[in-house]
Amino acid sequence: MVRVVAELLPDRRRVEVELEKGTVAELLERLGLSREGAVVVRDGTPLVEEEVLRDEERVLVYRAASGG
């Protein structure tokens, strides 16, 4: 089990999520976000879906803005 703290941007909401596999794809799924509509960033570096997150890691999740 991997526990990750994700800060969701642009609304700056922090969420703690427990993951089984600990992948970026699993994190996005648990947050209810599409892979096309969000980018997960660790230390300024965008992560690919297969990347494995570390226990107690903090990441930023940038959600795509929509609207007019």
pTM score: 0.91
- The secondary structure of 12-64 as a DSSP string is TEEEEEEESS-BHHHHHHHHT--SSSEEEEETTEE--TTPBPPTTEEEEEEEP
Burial class of 44 by CB neighbour count within 10 A (0 to 12, 13 to 18, 19+): exposed
Q: What is the CATH number of domain 2-63?
A: 3.10.20.90
- pLDDT of amino acid 64: 84
> 6-58, pLDDT tens digit by residue?
999 998 999 999 999 999 999 999 999 998 899 999 999 999 999 999 999 99
Q: What is the band of 61 on the pLDDT scale with cuts at 50, 70, 90?
A: very high
Nearest alpha carbon to residue 40 among 1, 19, 67:
19
Question: What average pLDDT does range 59-65 have in this prediction?
Answer: 91
What are the residue boundaries of the structural domains of the chain, listed by start? 2-63
- pLDDT of amino acid 35: 87
